[in-house]
C-alpha cells in the first residue's frame, strides 16, 4: 500500500511540475515578441476566436503554429471579462505579443480614413470620389447637383457609401440654412435654392476669397437690370454636365449653344447649381459686396478686374489681351 501511495504521490508531483512548466512556457509565449516586422492595420471580421486568430496569422501578426493557437485561445478565454473583440480595422504594433494583440483587439481605436470633397466639384465628380473611396461598402443614389458640402469627412472601415452621402448632404443643408438665415435680403434671390445656384456660379468663377463678394455683386446687379449673366462656367456645365474641363477654349459657337444652363442665352439664374459651393461662396452669395459693377474679366495675374461701365470693361479686356499677346480671355 505504501508503495502504491508513494507511486501516486510521485505521479501527482510530476503532473504538478509538468503543469507548472507548461504554464511557465505559456506565460513566456504570451508575452514573447510576435513576428510582425512593422506596425500594420488589419481588418478584424465579425466571428469567433478561431476566425480572428486565422485573420491575425494571415496578416503576419501572430505565428502560425500549435503553441500560438493554444496560448491565444486559452488567454482569450481567461481574459474574457476584459471585453469582446472589436470587428474593425485596427493597428497592431511591430513585434506585438499575444498579450498586446489582445489589448488591441479589445481596446484599440479603429483606423480613421478621410474623404476630401474639394470646393467646386460637380455631382459626377463627387460621385466618382465616393465610389473610389476605400474601405467603404455598398452603392448609393446619385447625388443632386450642389447637394454635397465640400469638406473633409472622417470615416471607419465598413461605413456605407449611402450613409456617407447622407452625411455630406446633411452638412450642405446645415450650411445653406446658416447662410440663408443670416443673408442680406435681395429681391433677386427669393429662396434657398436660388442662393445655392448663385453660390455655385461664384465658386466656379473665382478661387479668391476677396473676389467672391464682388462676383456676387456683379451677378446681382445684372439680375436687377435684367441683363444676362454671361457666365462661362455655366456654358461649360451645359455642354458636359460637370464631367470636367471642356478640353478646349470656349468658342463663339459654344456661347450660342441653347442649353438650359447657358447664361449667354437664358435670362436669370440657371435652373440648378453647376457645382457644390463651399462655405465662403455661400457666404458671398448671402453677403455680396457693395457697388455698381456689372462686368469682370481675368487680369492675367490670377484675379479679375471689375468695371461698372461697358467702356471700362472693354479697356480691361484690351489690357488683358495685350498682356496675353492677343489671347482671348475668359471675360464677361
Give residue 329's pLDDT: 44
- Same domain, yes or no, for 211 and 103? no
Q: Is residue 328 part of a domain?
A: no
Instruction: Supply the pLDDT for residue 301.
Output: 80
> From first to last of its 332 residues, what are the pLDDT tens digits of the chain?
555 544 444 434 333 334 434 444 558 889 999 999 999 999 999 999 999 999 999 999 999 999 999 999 999 999 999 999 999 999 999 999 999 999 999 999 999 999 999 999 999 999 999 999 999 999 999 999 999 999 999 999 999 999 999 999 999 999 999 999 999 999 999 999 999 999 999 999 999 999 999 999 999 999 999 999 999 999 999 999 999 888 899 999 999 999 999 999 999 999 999 999 999 999 999 999 999 999 999 888 889 999 999 999 999 988 888 877 655 444 44
Residue 227 within any structural domain of the chain? yes
Say yes or no: 305 and 197 in one domain.
Answer: yes
Of 235, 270, 230, 241, the C-alpha closest to 253 is 235
Gap between the Cα atoms of 32 and 179, Å rounded? 58
Q: Is the dihedral of CA 211, 215, 218, 224 positive or negative?
A: negative
Same domain, 303 and 203: yes
| Number of compact structural domains in the chain | 2
Is the same domain home to 197 and 101? Answer: no
Domain edge (last residue) among 107, 137, 168: 107
Whole-number pLDDT of residue 8: 41
For residue 15, tell me if it sits in a domain.
no
Alpha helices (H) in 59-191, listed in sequence order: 66-78, 98-107, 123-132, 161-181
Q: Which domain holds residue 90?
A: 30-107
pTM: 0.84
Asked if 104 and 90 count as a contact pair (C-beta separation under 8 A), the reply is yes
Domain ends where: 56, 79, 107? Answer: 107
Pick from 89, 107, 125: which residue ends a domain? 107
DSSP class of residue 298 equals E
Find the CATH number of the domain harbouring 46: 3.30.1490
Asked if 296 and 305 count as a contact pair (C-beta separation under 8 A), the reply is yes
Question: Does residue 175 sit within a domain?
Answer: no
Determine, yes or no, domain membership for 141. Answer: no
Amino acid at each position: 500500500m505504501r508503495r502504491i501511495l508513494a507511486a501516486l504521490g510521485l505521479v501527482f508531483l510530476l503532473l504538478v511540475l509538468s503543469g507548472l512548466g507548461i504554464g511557465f512556457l505559456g506565460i513566456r509565449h504570451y508575452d514573447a515578441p510576435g513576428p510582425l516586422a512593422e506596425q500594420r492595420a488589419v481588418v478584424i471580421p465579425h466571428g469567433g476566436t478561431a476566425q480572428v486568430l486565422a485573420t491575425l496569422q494571415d496578416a503576419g501578426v501572430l505565428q502560425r503554429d500549435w503553441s500560438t493557437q493554444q496560448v491565444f485561445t486559452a488567454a482569450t478565454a481567461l481574459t474574457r471579462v476584459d471585453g469582446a473583440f472589436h470587428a474593425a480595422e485596427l493597428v497592431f504594433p511591430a513585434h506585438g505579443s499575444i498579450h498586446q494583440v489582445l489589448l488591441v483587439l479589445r481596446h484599440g481605436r479603429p483606423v480613421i480614413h478621410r474623404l476630401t470633397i474639394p470646393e467646386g466639384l460637380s455631382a459626377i465628380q463627387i460621385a466618382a470620389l465616393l465610389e473610389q473611396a476605400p474601405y467603404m461598402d455598398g452603392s448609393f443614389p446619385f447625388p443632386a447637383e450642389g447637394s454635397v458640402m465640400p469638406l473633409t469627412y472622417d470615416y471607419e472601415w465598413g461605413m456605407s457609401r449611402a450613409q456617407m452621402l447622407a452625411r455630406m448632404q446633411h452638412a450642405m443643408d446645415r450650411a445653406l440654412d446658416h447662410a440663408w438665415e443670416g443673408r442680406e435680403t435681395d429681391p433677386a434671390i427669393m429662396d434657398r435654392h436660388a442662393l445655392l445656384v448663385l453660390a455655385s456660379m461664384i465658386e466656379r468663377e473665382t478661387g479668391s476669397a476677396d473676389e467672391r463678394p464682388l462676383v456676387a455683386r456683379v451677378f446681382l446687379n445684372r439680375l436687377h437690370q435684367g441683363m444676362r449673366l454671361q457666365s462661362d462656367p455655366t456654358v461649360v456645365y451645359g455642354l458636359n454636365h460637370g464631367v470636367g474641363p471642356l478640353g478646349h477654349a470656349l468658342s463663339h459657337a459654344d456661347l450660342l449653344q441653347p442649353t438650359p444652363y447657358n447664361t449667354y442665352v437664358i435670362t436669370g439664374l440657371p435652373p440648378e447649381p453647376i457645382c457644390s459651393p463651399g462655405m465662403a461662396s455661400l457666404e458671398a452669395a448671402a453677403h455680396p459686396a457693395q457697388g455698381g459693377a456689372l462686368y469682370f474679366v481675368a487680369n492675367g495675374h490670377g484675379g479679375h478686374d471689375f468695371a461698372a461701365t461697358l467702356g471700362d470693361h472693354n479697356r480691361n479686356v484690351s489690357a488683358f489681351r495685350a498682356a496675353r499677346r492677343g489671347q482671348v480671355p475668359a471675360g464677361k
